[in-house]
Structure 1
Amino acid sequence: MIRDKVLVASVYAGTSARATRYYLSSNKQFDVDWHIGKEEALRWFARARLSDNKVSDLKPCGQPTYETRRKKRISRQEYLAWAYQATHKTETTACYLTPNLFFDWRNTQNIKGLTAHWLEIDTAGHTPLTANQSWEIYQQIADCLGASNLPAPTNWVLTGSGGVHLYWRYDQPELVQNKTHRFTLLKRWKDIAAKLGKKLETWRIKLGYNDWKVDHGASNDPSRLMRMPGSQHNKTAREVLYLTGGPVTSLQMLGKKLGFKVPITTDAATAPASKAMKAHHIRTPKVCTSIARDPAADKLAKLAKDWEVYLHRHGQVVKGKRDLTLFHLYNIYRRIMAPQTAWDKIIQINDKYIGFTGQQLSAYLSSSIKTVYRYTLKRLNDILTDELELPLSVQLKSREKLSPAEQQRRQSISAKKVSKARASTTLNTLVELVLRLCKAGYTLTSLTPNVLLNHCQISRATIYRHWNKVIKTVQQRRPIQLKELLKAQHYSSHSLGFFITPPKSRSGNNVLKEPAEQSSANLLSVHCDIPIPDI
């Protein structure tokens, strides 16, 4: 104990005897230091679920100085209480937050303010360590920070498994002023993050520490979700702790200490040129060329026309709704017109009423370029009313509720249709089976339902029910000699005799001659396309 504070690590820069000491602090102090709930833009909270280990249930906090559709916002304590309450505790494996601030959704192109740099340090193989092993890791990280002569981090966050998050927190957020400024800020931020990670990793290797490493991917992502102090690590059940003791800095100051001498400016003339900033030279993406007719195409075309009229009357789309406007309007275009026409149309809408760059436009529409999202008309109405707050809607077809008697009548008709279709399918199956058996050497007189039962998966009762129709159908498909059929004295239930009408005599009486007097030319023949052996 030092002054009633728990000393966790001391960093000695170079050969200096002066150390930066990091003490265990409270979660309330974390809220004060990071202005949690008082941000000028949105900060996002999230949790990982045990069922699929994916990040979900993202909720915003902050007090934006602009109009946003994110009306329901929550504090860090409220989110932790919700995530670890009885109904969610067994599903929550970790809780996260975004160090940086966003204009709306958590997206790099939506960044509104940069609040810190960080390095994420993981244990080798992401193996959870004991408390004593973790303490050794902390001392090794402090050694590398001192030897590398890097600027002292402002805060440490101990993840609970032996990992550490180092933060160089700014005294004031670096707020984005315009598109050019955002581009310049992000480029400088990523350059600084890469240099911090590379330098610390170099000294880790020099000093021979192999139990941890810098996660460069997480450290170079400005929209990254990081572990939230006050939450628990799912593998060790230890609390995520917050350490204070280092000086605050700024993006300009940190860059200057690391050798970046050119200051960041908001002037578009001095910013580096980029293809991404040229909104009028947008390459047409590769899209699916299939344009199947949409059943609701007429109603969607009317909605698209009404939407365009609304945009023409009201001008620029308000910030916070531009990405959703682009996404849903482009999806409607994709459903009613060719892909190339839809893309040209959305570029015109973007240039007139939204103003995204080419890179932003392609990023926001990356998924809808590859996939056409066919929302139902009811869902589209909900989006227009609740999310976009537009006085637009799609006319839905009104359906009258059927009476019980009418429902029963329609169900009966449908059941009869299904039964008839199944019976027809079964009959065709049995007929084809009989024809195959005849072709294989069987005769019609030797075929019985029991024979078919051994060659198919149809039940005996079903075969008997269709047997007469099967034989009659087969008889119509092959030549039949009446003289041979009449020789049989005892006809079985499946005999062909019942289905053959003897030829009429010249006197008009249906009287057959004796088989002996029957002329060989007086045979009943039916055309047959499939050769089958005679009986």
Structure 2
Amino acid sequence: MKVLNTGSVLNQTTLYKRCSPTNFNASMGIGQEANCRYVWSYRIKEGNSPWRAIGHRQSGKSTTTLSKFYLDASIGRDCSIDCFISPNQFFDWRNTKQLASLHANWLEIDINSPAGVTRENKKSLTPEEESEVIKEVFGQLQLAEVPMPTGYVLSGSGGVHLYWMYPGVEAYKWRINSWRDITSKLVSKLNGGKNWHVDLGASKDPARVLRMPGTKHGSTRRTVEYYDGGHTYDFEDLAKQLGVKITKPTHLKLVTQPKKETQARKAKTPKAKSDNPPNSGKHTIGQWWFKIYTNVLQHIQKNPVKEGMRDSAAFIIYVALRHIQDADSAFNRVRQINERLIGLTDDELARYLKTAQNTLYKYKKDSISEYLSRQLGMDTSFLYQSKTKLTPEEVAIARKASALTTAKRKAEGTLSRILKAARELLSDQSPLTQTSVAAICGRSERTVRRYWKELLDHPVIRCASIYSPPKECPVAV
């Protein structure tokens, strides 16, 4: 790891110059929303909510303008007090499922407070202490060789918001997962300092709102400032630089089908009715051999193939596959299975399968049952199992039991994710709130609220440091 001296940190931070708030707005596309962003200020008392939307909502519901919002968030002659905005855009409501586009990753650097000090009584940093925090943050980023942020915002109380900006990209679910991975990688590079720490809840929530440059901090009356000077990134390039792999779902890959030559239509000849129509519930020959193939494969995975059984295992797997695939595909598949589970040499495998490559073997149920039990020591009861048709009442009972099992498994998975997020917050000494837990675990606050009592009563989490902050402060200061 490189040794970083103070001079190099100073040189790095001096690349950033204080800019007009309009520079921040232009870089983030604020005021040019294709969808909508949310703005918030607890100074707004009129109406039912301090939340407002700018841009265009899919539902057609009303939106506001920045100038109107600034006037609403006023105290006496001072306007635009404690104003926040969402860097990312939404289709309609402000939640992760409604995300329309991503415009930046960020880290919120929050100031440390002594134990027992509430958010309202939190002490602000002096400009000198704030400057020292910036030097420490950039120093740690440089040591970790992390791409430098596009710019940063001074919140007015000593906090710093670092932004890695890029042109807006559509917020598909797989891309939101990558967004969180990018943030996690950035968080892991910072160790905190005497006066600061990374606010995990604010940093890992893509639906978060953060302070707006050009507005005023309500407690200190200092103006929120924006410093620009870094690169504007491409989303995928930023992920690549941080070693984050973006995994797109396979169903999104474009598959082109080869064009088929058109032929003149032939008159259809009526087919003779079969005694066993396709939907009669009976299997086809291919399905029967596939069942044999899967059961043999499961057997040799659980029970290592002994020396005298290797040729029989390879032979019967190949015979089964020949009823499902062409000869070459079946041979290649058996060769892969042989390398992993059977252990014949290539010459031995080719010799044992030579006759089966030229002859399509057929077995009766009793014959294949005897072969599998005698040659491989398998339990062949699966060949004789038949499904009995359930009555409507039995079907209803089975469905209800399955639904209860699924619901229980889903609830356990959700609680596990919430517990993991809570442990992450506690280990980082960040406030444990429903908002921060929801941001990290990717569940809604409503869902976290349902599990909150169970979370607090959990033996791993239960401790004196747990508390819930006032509801009127859902965003970081």
Question: Scaled by the length of structure 1, what TM-score is found?
Answer: 0.43
Between 1 and 2, higher relative CO (CA 8 Å, sep ≥ 6) is seen in 2
